[in-house]
Amino acid sequence: MATSMPDAVCLGEALVDFVPAPGQPTWTFVARPGGAPANVAVGLARLGVPVAFVGRVGLDPMGVLVADALRVAGVDIGALQEDAMRPTPVAIVLPASSDLHRFLILRSNASDGALALDARALELLAATRLLHVGTLSLSETTSRSATLEAVAAARSHGAIVSVDVNLRPPAWADHDTMRNEARALLVTSTVAKLTEEELALLGVEPDQLIAAGVRVVLVTAGARGATAMTPVGSVSAASPVVGVVEATGAGDAFVAAFLAEILVSGFNPASLVELPVVGRALNVAAVAGSLAVQRSGAMESLPTAAELQAAAQLHAARD
């Protein structure tokens, strides 16, 4: 019997976040499953998009925690590798820190850096409509090769390639390499997502990325909303005003909602982008991000389709 292929593939790190425990003293933490590409996979699954995750975790309790979270969410984990020699990476979410330095990532010789594409991963990539990756996997030689090979495979048959820059300077040997690798990956994307801080650190402008062939450049500004730039113009979306419990996973909720919307719309990367389609997706994505910050934990905070639809309708009514 043929195995059905998911519409989307997310590739990269899966790890355990130690996030500040709600209602507890500062520097009290709780372990939660996370990792930006893994979070986006869960976000897509909760929004009804058939999705697979390609990554590598340790053969340890933390790897089990992450794998179970992906499985329960409905993510295809047939290409999730287990490493008996290397541990699952850990990220500590530091209270009261800037976005770029909010995570202390402990991943020396960790499992995610040893990710290589196996037969199942290549099978998924050959059929997918969308591939989503980040830049953290570029910081290790083996996972860098897997990431670039995956992007090339997706691009070869016209799939959408989504890149969330998601810079984590403490995870890199030096900042120049980080910037160069991120810039090079960005120009291979169909959809690129950056924060204002990341845009400044990389020293690039959205119009440069559009000129290089990127179809949609998403720039997020937290509570001030987000902007999407395309070859035919730009649109902006406001973020709903909400109380913030914990911001981990908000960007991944935003990305997952945007990608889910453009997949439903039949987005064609080979054509000029229609602003109404991008505008609708951007508004929904902004609402998804606002829902995520109201709960603790990256994967736990990602909204379901019903939650997102209700919140988006309420936000539209208030406008």
Number of independent structural domains in the chain: 1
Q: Which of 1, 152, 319 is nearest to 144 (CA)?
A: 152
Angle at 158 between CA 154 and CA 162, to 5 degrees: 55
**Domain-embedded: residue 2:** no
Radius of gyration in angstroms for the set of CA atoms belonging to the chain, rounded to a whole number: 18
Is 49 contained in some domain? yes
Is the residue at 163 inside a domain?
Answer: yes
Pairwise CA distance, residues 100 & 82, whole Å: 29
Please list the helix, strand and coil fractions of the chain in percent, rounded to the nearest 5, in that order.
Answer: 45, 20, 35
Q: For residue 245, is it within any domain?
A: yes
**Residue 233 and residue 270: Cα distance in Å, rounded?**
17
- Exposure pattern of 170-196 as b/e (b: 16+ CB <10 Å)? ebbeeeeebbebbbebbebbbbbbbbe
In sign, the C-alpha dihedral spanning 79, 82, 86, 89 is: positive
Structure tokens at 217: 């450049």
* Nearest-5° Cα angle at 152, 57 to 195: 70
pTM of the model: 0.94
Asked if residue 126 is part of any domain, the answer here is yes
Per-residue pLDDT tens digits of the chain, which is 319 residues long:
345 789 999 999 999 999 888 778 878 889 999 999 999 999 999 999 999 999 999 999 999 999 999 999 999 999 999 999 999 999 998 876 666 677 788 888 999 999 999 999 999 999 999 999 999 999 999 999 999 999 999 999 999 999 999 998 888 989 999 999 999 999 999 999 999 999 999 999 999 999 999 999 999 998 899 999 999 999 999 988 888 777 788 999 999 999 999 999 887 776 666 788 899 999 999 999 999 988 888 899 999 999 999 988 887 777 6
Domain CATH code at residue 91: 3.40.1190.20
Per the structure, the complete domain to which residue 98 belongs is given by 8-318
